[in-house]
Amino acid sequence: MAEPVEVALGTRSYRVHIGAGVLDEVGARVRETVGTPSRIAIISDTRVAALHLGRVQTALAAAGFAAADVVTIPPGEGEKRLATVERVCEALAAAGADRRSLVLALGGGVVGDLSGLVAALYMRGIAFAQLPTTLLAQVDASVGGKTAVDLGAGKNLVGAFHQPSFVSCDVRVLSTLPPREVRAGLAEVLKAGLIADPELFELLERRGGEAAALTDPALTEALVRRAVAVKAGIVSRDERESGERALLNLGHTYGHAIEAAAGYGPVLHGEAVALGMVAACRVAERIGVTAGLEARVSRALVGLGLAVDLEPWLRPDVLAHTQVDKKRTGKALRFVLPEGLGRVRLHDLTVKDLAEYLRIPAS
Ligand SMILES: NC(=O)c1ccc[n+]([C@@H]2O[C@H](COP(=O)([O-])OP(=O)(O)OC[C@H]3O[C@@H](n4cnc5c(N)ncnc54)[C@H](O)[C@@H]3O)[C@@H](O)[C@H]2O)c1
Ligand SMILES: [Zn+2]
């Protein structure tokens, strides 16, 4: 198996294992990172558990661990809330989990974010590992230690930084993922390429169709590996987003606004980020820091099967949602401007500037 990607964070460093079959080695990964936890709890959603829980249980048994406790939640973003954190913590307590117990998060970003927060809070913090099962979770949510749940007032407003002990991205589990979720995840892979890895971007330009169809496991593995490497590098240099880590928000200022305006659900996060990247390129071209990038990024996204038509979203009500983006500082939005393949920088924009560059009429 290929070398893992290292997230270098001093004493909180960990490895991201990527490949077909890494889920079958989870027991060995637990032994080498945590040793012998007092108990192991697998947190998953019911859909993922029905498909992939058995493999994790078999892997743990093979490494000599007693049967793990299993806590499942219903699938969907609606479970990413404090009430579910409480329910899962109660389940851990009822099972007898203590400070030396380990949480394994088996699922997409919802399970990962929720379980990470549970692990950060339970008995003031216990060890956890990420076993991401969506492409989005493999290339983005599982790496970097951001955990959170949503409030009525907005997404991810209550959370903590809590780094996992290891991450296992098994590309084999992606074969059960709905194709639309695969395409949405690929938007984040393309984003990683645009931020810091031109070869990754070009690989997706050349082989977008195969990437979306998951026809070549070696290609899928290479895409996950390169995207994780981009994120791991940035997180290693800026764990708590005091600077460089904000670059990962490329496409997210307008993307989040589209997601929020659509009412979370109808437009998947990755689909919104695809549109947000088109918007970011358009702004960059109108500011004059790049040329021809919107057409190139749009072509690549279309090759992945993603929608790129921004026009229906250039509305005052969508723009208004950029103002509630929690990442804004003062009045200006910290907008990530793409300047070329693998070149991005932060640029302060007011909402009024954004309206002008995107030619959004006043309401
Ligand atoms: N912490 C971070 O840094 C970070 C980064 C990006 C996104 N996120 C969060 O991630 C969440 C979105 O994650 P997501 O897109 O993975 O959504 P998700 O966890 O809701 O998963 C999407 C759907 O796919 C199903 N599923 C998962 N794996 C499957 C598989 N292998 N086969 C079949 N079905 C499967 C799930 O049951 C769910 O219905 C959001 O809440 C977002 O805020 C966090
Ligand atoms: Zn994202």
Q: What distances in angstroms separate CA 36 from CA 22, 31, 44, 173, 359, one per listed residue?
A: 20, 6, 21, 26, 59
**45-96 residue pLDDT tens:** 999 999 999 999 999 999 999 999 999 999 999 999 999 999 999 999 999 9
CB 26 within 8 A of CB 168: yes
Give residue-wise pLDDT tens across range 307-354: 999 999 999 999 999 986 555 555 789 999 999 999 999 999 999 999
Residue 4: phi and psi, rounded to 5, are -70, 160
Reply yes or no on whether the pLDDT at 28 is more than 70.
yes
Measured by CA distance, the residue closest to atom 44 of ligand 1 is: 141
Please give the number of the atom of ligand 1 that sits closest to the Cα of 173: 31
**pLDDT exceeding 70 applies to what percent of the chain?**
98
Residue 135 CA to ligand 1 centre (angstroms): 8
pLDDT at 327: 53
User: Is this prediction's pTM over 0.85?
Assistant: yes
Phi, psi angle pair for 348, to nearest 5°:
-80, 125
Contact 147, 85 (CB under 8 A): no
Strands 5-7 and 14-19: antiparallel
Q: List, chain by chain if needed, residues with CB within 6 Å of any ligand 1 atom.
A: 45, 47-48, 51, 75-77, 80, 107-111, 113, 133-134, 136-137, 140-141, 144, 146, 155-156, 173, 176-177, 181, 269
Instruction: Provide the H-helix boundaries in 122-178.
Output: 135-136
Cβ(98)–Cβ(86) below 8 Å = no
